[in-house]
Structure 1
């Protein structure tokens, strides 16, 4: 980081601290009624915590160096024997066909000695169909009956039957890429060698976390028609924040796609069973036991993320309550076993889940003044401009500069998108976080379903967004109605915040409205050579993209044949020295210039063909989804585009119904 940029960061922090001191000592209405005073204190505490978490991110960014962030994966050491590795695939009640993709991919994982890779399905339910799946793929099976300890109990039961020095955890829907072990195990080999050569100055490696990656668009990408504009919402943490944590040797475990040192996990007593976020807690327990943890940047597996509003909200509620539980179990504020950097990371994680409570406070504060003249900040407009504006806008710039600096060709997320996502979760998370903090636990949680199911009851989930959106709109109109001249200027701060929240809530409304899902399977960009049968002759082609139900391909211009829509035929793909046979028909023909692009619906026999075809599809990230944000597209552009697209859809539907009459 340049000295100039560092100076700007420090100046932003200094100006923000000056503002916060002014807020605490000069703007709180101490003589107001009890409601106003309580809300005023909540507002100033929220501002302090928001700035504090921002300062931590800035501090970590300043602390980071390219060497610390960019972990170089070494080659296998030829002088060392590669260790045995247990691949544990954890399942609860997920569909067998979803589990099949992960198990199939695990059997394709590359390793110098494949006999040392032991795939085991850890089945919380002891289901016969899952056991049959294990037998089909010739992998291990561990079934649990009457498990009372959730995911941790399931894993601990399986681990009791295994003894490899390293083990990997995969969730049912997290499909590993073939290079997964090659991108992680050499880090352990390197650490083993360093421990032998210099044990006094080498910390043992407890686990390596690879990014959580998803092959389908998340609820923000999909419902906002932004699959080409913004990365997955979880990328900011997995590919940036946790990489920063790993740069300080304190990466957090995020539940799947991680390789562990078996000795370390045994030393801390296995997976903890007194929390619903056993991943977060286990990672910290290993750090407290003296083991370091690293996070890599490049995804080595890919899963499916829920896109229905109910499923997403339930998933985040479980995570929020679990982290609060684990932070209480770990005593993050007072535990003497925590290093200062570890404590800072955990405190920052803890306060992240309070961001949604703070967001509700921020949304409510200007509404109280606009509608009810409840003034929770005693401040002269001009003093406010002098003390607040410089620090706010400079910190806003710095936070935008520090958000998603991970990628060299762009940012993962800017601050404005962060506010939209924060606003989206706020109405549903602030109460669970508060209750869990007070020790009021929820009933038993269920595993989040990845199937999209939208009923009338699901539609009711959008009511909080509509209520907040409507009352914010009313506040904007009422507060500015009849004002002119200096009145508009003096009230501009309130109007500014109301407009910002109105834009965010409008985006949330569009997200909550949902979007009809037409595609049954996700498409992956894959360039695979193949052949299509025509008149008993095979003709070459190259795929553009593939999915479980179809392929798109192009043929050489001099092929001499022309396919038509509806033509039934056979296809043959060449992959890993195998020939995959597909049956199908041409469904659509489009053109790119003079080049014809054929889209075909295909099916594959449930045999070795299917296993290789699944591997062809899922071995690698979905390149159709962006890794960085399109900086030319702003939330205002997204707002306009969603309005136009949805208005056109409404017009089409209205037109169809009108024509019926």
Structure 2
């Protein structure tokens, strides 16, 4: 990090601290009524916590050296025996078709000695169809009945039956890449050698977490028509924040696609069963037991993320409640076994889930003044400009500068972070409060990844619509009839109202949803093969993209004029010295760079063909989705684009109805 950047970071923190001191001692309306005083104190506390979490990220960014950020993956140790590893695929009630993809991918994972890889399906439903699937793929099956401890109980039951020195955990929907073991296990063999060479100065490695990655667009990307503009919302934590945690040897376990030292997990008593976020709690238990944890930056598996409101809100509510449960179990404020770095990471994680309560406070505060003249901050406008504005805007710039830097490209900026906080705020702030005072939810279920759009789902728009309407009225009422200096003095309130109005407008578009036409995700894959036409001739091809139901390809020689739309075809693709046979029909012919691109619907005739074809599709990240943010496109551009796209959609519907008459 350059000295200039470091100076800006320190200056942003210093100015923000000056502002917070001023806020605490000079702006709280102590003599107001009880409601105003309570809200004023909540606002100050929210600002303190918001700034503190920002300071922690800046602090970790300054601690992060190039070596810590770019974790070097060693080769398998030549002096250490290759360890056996159990691949545990955890399933509850997910579909067999989804489970098949993960099991299939696990059988293709590269390892110097495949006999040392033991794949097991951990099924707490004792489902005959899952047992048959395991038998089909010649892998192990671990079933159980009457599981009272959810995912933890399922995994612990399987761990009692398998005893390799390493094991990996995969959720049903998290499909591993063939490179997964190559990019995790060598860190353990290197650590084993270091422990032999210098045990006094080497910490044992407890687990390695790879990023949570998803092959479909999330609810923000999809519903905002932003699949080419912003990365997955979870990338900021998985590929940036947790990598920073890992740089301090305290990465958090996020539930799937991680490799563990079996001895370490046994030492802490297995997976904890007194929380619904056993992943978060187990990782910390291992750290407290003296084991370090690392996080890699490049995804080694990919899963499916929910894009319906019900599924997303339900998933985040479970995470929020679970983390708060685990923080209480771990006594993160007073536990003497936590190191300073560990405690800071845990506090940062805990207060993250309070960000949604803070966001509600931030939205309501300017509305109270604009509509009801309830003043929760006693401050002169010019003093506010001198003390608040420099620190706020510099910190805002610095936080954007630290939001996931990858080769000078950002994973997320602050404005997008505020949109995402606003989206979750109305649904998470109450569960967070309830869990914090010990009121637990009665039952939690695995989040369904199937998209649903019932009338009940559409009611999720109501909190945003109500807040949006109130904010709009507040903007009009507050500024109506004001001129000159009055507008200037009130500009801070107007600024915040407009910011929240824009965020809420984005939330309205997200909650409105978007029709899902594609049955399966499309992946960019370059695979050679050949096509047989109805005349029996073969032509060499190269695929452009593939999906479970279709394939796009170009012919790599000039004579291709015989292919017509609706033609029946046969395609042969090469994968690992295996010829995959596909049967299909040409659905569309397009032109790209003056070359015909043929899109075909395909069917896979046999199981072995299907296994290899699925591996072509899912062995690697989905490059159709961005890994960094397009910084040229702002939320304002997104807002305008959504207005235009949705207005045109309404216009088409109206036109089609009139045309019928």
Matched ranges for 1:9-408 at <5 A: 9-405=9-405, 407-408=406-407
Deviations 1:287-324 (A, max 9, x none): 00000000000000000000001100000000000000
Does residue 509 of structure 2 align to residue 532 of structure 1?
no
Asked if structure 1 preserves the Cα contact closer than 8 Å seen for 2:79 and 2:193, the reply is no
Deviation at 1:560, TM superposition (A): 4.2
Deviation at 1:7, TM superposition (A): 1.0
| Aligned position for 1:420 | 419
Asked if structure 1 preserves the Cα contact closer than 8 Å seen for 2:80 and 2:192, the reply is no
Q: SS at 2:573's partner residue?
A: strand
Deviation at 1:557, TM superposition (A): 4.4
| Aligned position for 2:460 | 461
Quick one: structure 1 residues 599 and 560, their matched pair in 2 at CA, closer, same or farther if it must change by over 3 Å? Answer: closer
| Aligned position for 2:517 | 518
Q: SS at 1:94's partner residue?
A: coil
Aligned mates of 1:536, 1:157 — CA distance in 2: 55
Deviation at 1:559, TM superposition (A): 2.7
**Equivalences, count:** 660
Aligned mates of 1:645, 1:112 — CA distance in 2: 51
Deviation at 1:409, TM superposition (A): 4.5
Deviation at 1:593, TM superposition (A): 3.3
Aligned mates of 1:214, 1:195 — CA distance in 2: 35
Aligned mates of 1:347, 1:549 — CA distance in 2: 46
Deviations 1:196-228 (A, max 9, x none): 000000000000000000000000000000000
Asked if structure 1 preserves the Cα contact closer than 8 Å seen for 2:126 and 2:144, the reply is yes
Structure 2: gaps of 5 or more residues: none
Deviation at 1:556, TM superposition (A): 2.5
Deviation at 1:659, TM superposition (A): 1.6
Aligned mates of 2:16, 2:487 — CA distance in 1: 26
Q: SS at 2:653's partner residue?
A: helix
Deviations 1:137-169 (A, max 9, x none): 000000110100000000000000000000000
Does residue 494 of structure 2 align to residue 495 of structure 1?
yes
Relative to the length of structure 1, the TM-score reads: 0.99
Aligned mates of 1:560, 1:106 — CA distance in 2: 38
Deviation at 1:230, TM superposition (A): 0.3
Q: SS at 2:410's partner residue?
A: coil
Matched ranges for 1:461-480 at <5 A: 461-480=460-479
Q: RMSD value over aligned CA atoms?
A: 0.7
Deviation at 1:539, TM superposition (A): 1.1
Deviation at 1:99, TM superposition (A): 0.3
Asked if structure 2 preserves the Cα contact closer than 8 Å seen for 1:176 and 1:302, the reply is yes
Asked if structure 1 preserves the Cα contact closer than 8 Å seen for 2:12 and 2:398, the reply is yes
Which stretches of structure 1, 4 residues or more, deviate above 2 A after TM superposition?
A: 559-562
Structure 1: gaps of 5 or more residues: none
Asked if structure 2 preserves the Cα contact closer than 8 Å seen for 1:411 and 1:629, the reply is yes
Aligned mates of 2:39, 2:614 — CA distance in 1: 55
Aligned mates of 2:586, 2:128 — CA distance in 1: 38
Asked if structure 1 preserves the Cα contact closer than 8 Å seen for 2:206 and 2:264, the reply is yes
Does residue 497 of structure 2 align to residue 482 of structure 1?
no
Quick one: structure 1 residues 346 and 238, their matched pair in 2 at CA, closer, same or farther if it must change by over 3 Å? Answer: same
Relative to the length of structure 2, the TM-score reads: 0.99
Deviation at 1:98, TM superposition (A): 0.2
More moved, 536-545 vs 303-312? 536-545
More moved, 585-594 vs 248-257? 585-594
Asked if structure 2 preserves the Cα contact closer than 8 Å seen for 1:557 and 1:595, the reply is no
Does residue 448 of structure 2 align to residue 441 of structure 1?
no
Deviation at 1:561, TM superposition (A): 3.8
Aligned mates of 1:251, 1:606 — CA distance in 2: 42
Aligned mates of 1:421, 1:649 — CA distance in 2: 25
Aligned mates of 2:233, 2:507 — CA distance in 1: 14
Does residue 604 of structure 2 align to residue 600 of structure 1?
no
